[in-house]
Each structure stands twice: as structure tokens, then as C-alpha cells.
A and B are shown apart, each in its own frame.
Chain A
């Protein structure tokens, strides 16, 4: 099994290549997904703040 890890002596080249490839793949799966969740969460917060402001009767407050 060990010679699999050695990659015929080229381990120093093959593994970093695969690592970089997988890192990019994973990043581009996670980052956009988080972006969507973060945007939704931010909008929820803004909505909740607007409701809170509306309920406390501060009518003159301009819509943020």
C-alpha cells in the first residue's frame, strides 16, 4: 500500500496537484452555498428590525 502513497517517487508532485484541485472544488461548493444562507439571514434581520421599528410607533423614521 505504501508505494501507492509514494506514487513511484512523484508523491511530491501528484498529491499537491490533487489537493489543490479538490480544495478548489470544495471551496466553490461551500462558498456560494454560504453566500445564499448569509444573504437570506441578513434580509431576515433587516426585516425584523423594520418590524420592531414600525411597532414602536416611530413613524417618522424613514424606511431604511
Chain B
């Protein structure tokens, strides 16, 4: 088992195999995304019951929470593929790490805006230095740092490796920043009203809607990431013979 996994890992490392493999996978992911997204939206807007406390405004949770999870998930994935790129010097891993950054930043931005939209009716202000929103804000800064560093260095390969290293530094600091902010938040205002109603005691159909929406965001990320990496492969491997053949037919 380990042998095939290792072979598969190295095979996937070659831009050409990755290009073909992702090309085959994208249609399936796309279909899965459309289904889960439609089903998820239906569940979250129509089926899930109204929240006895917050009324209808809690439905923002079905886009806010999945986006927050995606923002975190993508950062960790970026750091992991960055580590692979740095240690095994794999071009594809570099491209995956760099392609992750803008998508993750987009999801984090959505989380921040929907969080503030959700908080407005409850807190009366657009921005509340709530622990989770604050650490989301710093997650966005970490993303902007990685993207800024990549854009600032001319040589593509060197830029990718520097950005990958920064992503590693970021992922190590992520929990430290998060728990410092959470601790700081309890220190200053005492526990604010729990913005995110805990998943555990949610009504089953609420939980179902949330999980479907989360699945939809995962499929969406799959399509978006693979397609962005394919674009980068074409740009960076434009000299390669297999790309020239691709252009001919």
C-alpha cells in the first residue's frame, strides 16, 4: 500500500500527469458541487426551522460558518503543500500552494463580511471585536502577507518558495494568535453572546443544512483550485513539449 501511495505521490508531482489527472477530475467535482450547493441552499433557506432566539437572521450561519472553516482549511492545505514544495522541491506543490492563497483569502473575506452582517442585528454595530471575528481578521492578514510576498519577488520559483515558507511560519502561529485573541477577548468583555450557536445542540435539520453547505464549499474549492493550478501549469510549462502538443491539436 505504502509503495503505491509513494509512486502515486511522485507521479502527481509531474505537471503533465497532474494536468491530465485534474482535467478528468474537475467535471465530477463540478457536478457534485452544483448538486450539494443547490440542495444546501434549499435546506438552509427553506427547510431549516427558524431559530427561536435570533429569528431568520441566523440563516447567515449557513454561509458564514462553512466559509470560516474553508478559510482555515485552505490555509493549512497551503502550508502543507508549501512544505512539500520546499522539502521535495516539487513544482506542482508550489503552484498548488500559491493557487490556494487567493481562494482562501476570498473565503476569509466572505466570513468577515457575513460575520459582520450577522452581528449587526444583534450587536447594533457593524464590527465587534469578538474573538472569532478578530482572529479571522488576522487570518486574512496572514493570507495577504503570503500573496504580497509572492507578488513582490520577480523570480517565480523563488517567490513561490519564499511564500511557502511564510505560509509555514503562519500556520505555526495561527493557533497561537487564535488562542491569544480568544483569551484576550474573555479578559476584556467577558464572554460575549455566543455568536455561533454551537453545532452540537443544533436542531438536526439545521446541522444537516450546515454539513451539506460545507460539502458544497469543499467541492467548489476542489474545482477552483485544480483549475487555477492548471492555468499556472500552462503558463510555467509553456516551453515543455507536451504543452506544445496540447496547443497544436
Identify the A interface with B (CB < 8 A): 4, 7-10, 13-14, 16-18, 20-21, 24-25, 27-29, 32-33, 35-36, 39-40, 43-44, 47
Contact = CB atoms under 8 A, between A and B. Distances in A.
Interface SS of B by simple majority? helix
B218 interface: no
Contacts of A21: 63, 67, 110, 114
Contact of A44 (B46, B63, B247): B247
B60 A32 contact: no
A28 B103 contact: yes
Contacts of A39: 231, 234-235, 238
Contacts of B57: 7-8, 10, 13-14
Given A8-B57, A13-B118, A39-B231, A28 B106 contact: yes
Contacts, number: 91
B120 interface: yes
B248 interface: yes
B121 interface: yes
